[in-house]
Structures are given as structure tokens and as C-alpha cells.
């Protein structure tokens, strides 16, 4: 049996930069990508300190195979997907660890159509990490040499192409953001320029924090994983709402004028109901994951819409959307895919779709959220463990979960979901219940059991 560690997780290769994600790995991935995807590759990155180091190694791998690297610089992940299509490249590469802390980084890929790679293509890139490109005698007879090596060049209008695309989504429907004051927390990540600029071009008043592009503090007490600063900014500035991105800006979480968190479930519900009212939804179906709130499913059912649930991960959501011909899919984390506007999760596009629904309704975000769905109290606890893979098939934890679910059903409904993270050494324990105290109590109990059994 093959017991080698697998490098690709739910969203590319990820790890602590220069420790579990090395320059050698980046070089190998760049070299292999030319062979697997093709010679012309668009590269973008977020603001992390290690980004330029990994970019240099990735470019070296690409050009060593005679490939051509088109450098978009610091730019949101969805912009790389868009540029890959617009420029007719063979693939796209993003250097980012998304919502993870600054010491992490990652490398993920798009194919020529701007979609995340199939498992088969990822397997071929994975294999490249295990193959040495230098022969035993040190020769490189299979590689181009001299003037035949590849090149790297910047994309001079990378941001402008992405901005034009995003802004046009509202402009073509005759919508603007005139009259809205919008607070934005860029999380010191890749959206530090594009999101504030797009909102200004649509005539909103914009107040911004954490837009210094300081990669040493990307996602630190800021952005979509920590709404504290944004909530205060919304209240102090009198903004109509706030928007928070993660490090690579493929997701967004909103904050209402009252300071309420409007997560991906609310955003998807609002956008789905707006789309149904304006021009209908293909198949009367939206896509979400097993993490979505029960209240979301009930609200969609009441509106005559079916919810198809997938395992966690945007690739799972996208695959289901493409196979079923569905237009809207997303995750509670704020990672939304509007397939008509981009081929991957896009935090800016998601924000604009939410704002379009807001403008068409003439209502506040608080009102629109309350009308879209009623959320069941939910508690999510991340448990640090030594080996998250031991969760699968663990009898004692399965029994504890079954007992908790039985208690919830007897007390008014709810559910339990315990799963291993695909990007970190964590087990996520999620409990929904009819009341918050019950959800918190059962979640704490199960988290304690996970820690005891798997640490």
C-alpha cells in the first residue's frame, strides 16, 4: 500500500512557508504544470511575505521547461481565473493560503477555462512532486537550454481587466451604489485595491481598513475570519453595511448596520430570492454544502427552491453546479460561485450581487436578511488534533455523535457534523439546535470527546 504523504488537500498544496511548503516544491510544481496544463500560465499571489519567494521558485520551474509565466502580481484569486480565460492561457496558478495565518502559504491551480483542477490533473501534479528532474550524473538533457528556456513578463492591466469585468455586472443592469456608505475590511490581503476601487466606481462612499497590503499581518484579527474591527467601523462610520474578505478575496462576509454577521448562508439566500424574483433560477435549485444552516434549507424550500448539498469545499460545489446546470452555489464561509460571472468563488462578485439585491429591494441589510431566512443557533468549535485522519471510522466518536443527534431530535430538532479540516490539523465540531444554550453545551461536550480521543 502507498503510504506516502499526499500534498494536495481540498484547495491545492498548503503549509508553513519554507517548512512544509518549500521552494523546491514550488519549482517542481511549476515544472510539472507546464507538462500537465501547458506552457503559458498566469500567476497571481496574495500579500504574504513568502509570496515573492515562492513566486520566484514557481517561475523558475515554469521557465526551466520552456514555459511562459504571465505575472499578475498581488491580485485576488478569482482575478487569476478570469485572466486565464481572457488571455487564452493554458492554466492559472495562485500563491495564497486564503484565510490561514501569515506563516502559511499555498499553491493552487486553474485549468484553461478558469476552473479548479479535476482530481486526475491534481494527481498528475502530485506525482511531479515525487519525481526528480535532475539525473544521477547531474545532467539535464531533457530540458531546454540557452536561448530556448522560457520567459516571464508582467500583465500590465491585470487589475483593470478584473475591475472592468466586476463593475460591468451592475452597470449592465442599470444599477449603481449611489447613496450607500460601505465599510470594507481587506484583511491586509489581495483585495486591498480592487474591492474599494470597484465600489467607488459604482458611486458608493467607501471607508476602508486593513488595506495596507501588509502580508506580515494578513488575516490577523481582521478580514472575514474576525469581524471585530469591521463591526466597530460600521457602527462608528454610520455605514449601511460592511464587507470583509479573506486573504485571497475569493470569499466575503457582510456585517449589517446593526452589527449582525451576514454569513454565506444569508448571502446565498438573499441572492437566490432576488434572482428568483427577477429572472428565475435554473432548475429552481441552489447548491450548498453539508455545513449550511438548517434554516437556509427551510427558507429555500418555502420559496419553492431545492437545495443540493455537497461535501465541504468549493470544488465539490462547482462540480455539482456544472453537472446540474445550476447558477448559484456557495458555502457558509462566504465562498460563493455565481457561474454566470466567474468560474470560481469570487468575493467581489459576491459582494456586488448582494449589493444589487439590496438596491433592488430598497430595504436595509438587516431587514433583507431577516426576511430571507431564520437561522438555527449554531456552534462551531475547531479542535487541534495530532492526526485528524483518525476521525474516519472512529467508533467511540460515532456513538457519541449518534447520542447527541438523538437528544437534539427529542428537544426540537437540530443536527451534528464532525469533520476533519482539509487545510489544517483540525477537527471541526458543528452543532445546530433549537436554542443556543443546547447547541453550545453539546458542541463543547463533543469537542472534549474529540480532543480526548484524537490528541
HEC profile of 81-136: HHHHHHCCCCEEEEECCCCCCCCEEEEEEEECCCCECCHHHHHHHHHHCCCCCCCC
Terminal Cα distance for the chain, rounded: 26
Q: Residue 2's pLDDT is what?
A: 47
Which positions ≥6 away from 408 have C-beta within 8 Å?
Answer: 414, 415, 416, 431, 432, 433, 434, 438, 442
Q: Are 12 and 112 in contact (CB under 8 A)?
A: no
Q: Residue 4's pLDDT is what?
A: 56
- Residue identified by cell 474516519 is 392
**φ, ψ for residue 136 (rounded to 5)?**
-55, -35
Q: Are 125 and 8 in contact (CB under 8 A)?
A: yes
Dist CA 419 CA 142 (whole Å): 44
Q: Are 85 and 114 in contact (CB under 8 A)?
A: yes
Annotated catalytic residue, options 31, 98, 288, 372: 98
Q: Residue 131's pLDDT is what?
A: 62
Cell of 44: 497571481
Q: Residue 136's pLDDT is what?
A: 42
Q: Are 414 and 298 in contact (CB under 8 A)?
A: no
Task: Enumerate residue ranges in the chain where pLDDT < 70.
Answer: 1-5, 131-141
Closest CA to 45 of 92, 86, 91: 92
Dist CA 85 CA 35 (whole Å): 19
Q: Residue 22's pLDDT is what?
A: 96
pTM: 0.89
Pairing mode, strands 261-262 and 40-45:
unpaired
98 is known as an active-site residue: yes
Determine the 3-state secondary structure of 49 from DSSP.
Answer: coil
Which positions ≥6 away from 148 have C-beta within 8 Å?
Answer: 66
Dist CA 199 CA 359 (whole Å): 13
Q: Are 250 and 77 in contact (CB under 8 A)?
A: yes
Cell of 379: 456552534
Dist CA 339 CA 359 (whole Å): 22
Dist CA 46 CA 75 (whole Å): 6
Determine the 3-state secondary structure of 139 from DSSP.
Answer: coil
Dist CA 318 CA 284 (whole Å): 17
Q: Residue 5's pLDDT is what?
A: 67
Q: Residue 134's pLDDT is what?
A: 39
Q: Residue 129's pLDDT is what?
A: 82
Q: Tell whether the torsion through CA atoms of 49, 94, 380 and 404 is positive or negative.
A: negative
* Domains of the chain, CATH where assigned: 8-156 (3.40.120.10), 161-372 (3.40.120.10), 378-454 (3.30.310.50)
Amino acid at each position: 500500500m502507498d503510504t506516502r504523504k499526499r500534498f494536495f488537500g481540498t484547495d491545492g498544496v498548503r503549509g508553513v512557508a519554507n517548512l512544509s511548503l518549500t521552494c523546491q516544491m514550488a519549482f517542481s510544481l511549476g515544472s510539472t504544470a507546464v507538462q500537465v496544463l501547458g506552457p503559458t500560465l498566469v500567476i497571481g499571489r496574495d500579500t504574504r511575505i513568502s509570496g515573492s519567494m515562492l513566486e520566484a521558485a514557481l517561475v523558475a520551474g515554469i521557465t526551466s521547461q520552456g514555459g511562459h509565466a504571465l505575472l499578475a502580481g498581488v491580485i485576488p484569486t478569482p482575478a487569476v481565473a478570469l485572466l486565464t480565460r481572457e488571455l487564452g492561457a493554458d492554466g492559472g496558478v495562485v500563491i495564497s493560503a486564503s484565510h490561514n495565518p501569515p506563516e502559511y502559504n499555498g499553491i493552487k491551480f486553474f485549468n484553461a477555462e478558469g476552473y479548479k483542477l479535476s482530481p486526475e490533473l491534481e494527481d498528475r501534479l502530485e506525482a511531479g512532486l515525487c519525481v526528480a528532474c535532475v539525473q544521477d550524473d547531474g545532467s539535464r538533457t531533457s530540458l531546454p537550454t540557452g536561448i530556448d528556456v522560457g520567459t516571464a513578463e508582467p500583465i500590465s492591466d491585470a487589475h483593470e481587466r478584473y475591475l472592468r469585468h466586476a463593475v460591468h455586472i451592475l452597470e449592465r443592469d442599470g444599477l449603481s451604489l449611489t447613496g450607500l456608505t460601505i465599510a470594507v475590511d481587506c484583511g491586509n490581503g489581495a483585495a486591498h485595491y480592487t474591492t474599494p476601487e470597484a465600489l467607488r466606481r459604482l458611486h458608493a462612499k467607501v471607508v476602508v481598513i486593513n488595506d495596507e497590503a501588509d502580508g506580515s499581518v494578513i488575516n490577523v484579527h481582521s478580514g472575514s475570519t474576525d469581524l471585530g474591527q469591521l463591526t466597530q467601523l460600521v457602527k462608528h462610520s454610520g455605514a449601511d453595511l460592511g464587507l470583509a474578505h479573506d486573504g485571497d478575496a475569493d470569499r466575503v462576509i457582510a456585517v449589517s448596520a446593526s452589527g449582525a454577521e451576514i454569513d454565506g448562508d444569508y448571502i446565498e439566500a438573499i441572492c437566490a430570492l432576488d434572482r428568483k424574483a427577477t429572472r428565475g433560477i435554473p432548475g429552481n435549485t441552489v447548491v450548498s454544502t453539508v455545513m449550511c444552516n438548517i434554516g437556509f434549507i427551510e427558507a429555500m424550500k418555502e420559496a419553492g427552491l431545492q437545495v443540493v448539498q455537497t461535501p465541504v469545499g468549493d470544488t465539490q460545489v462547482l462540480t455539482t453546479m456544472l453537472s446540474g446546470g445550476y447558477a448559484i452555489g456557495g458555502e457558509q464561509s462566504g465562498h460563493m460561485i455565481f457561474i454566470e460571472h466567474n468560474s470560481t468563488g469570487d468575493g467581489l462578485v459576491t459582494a456586488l450581487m448582494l449589493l444589487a439585491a439590496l438596491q433592488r429591494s430598497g430595504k436595509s441589510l438587516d431587514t433583507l436578511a431577516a426576511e430571507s431566512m431564520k437561522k438555527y443557533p449554531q456552534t462551531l468549535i475547531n479542535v487541534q488534533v495530532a492526526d485528524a485522519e483518525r476521525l474516519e471510522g472512529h467508533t467511540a466518536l460515532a456513538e457519541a455523535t449518534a447520542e447527541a443527534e438523538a437528544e437534539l431530535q427529542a428537544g426540537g430538532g437540530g443536527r451534528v457534523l464532525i469533520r476533519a479540516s482539509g487545510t489544517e490539523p483540525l477537527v471541526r465540531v458543528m452543532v445546530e439546535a433549537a436554542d443556543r444554550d443546547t447547541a453550545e453545551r453539546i458542541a463543547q461536550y463533543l469537542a472534549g470527546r474529540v480532543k480526548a480521543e484524537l490528541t
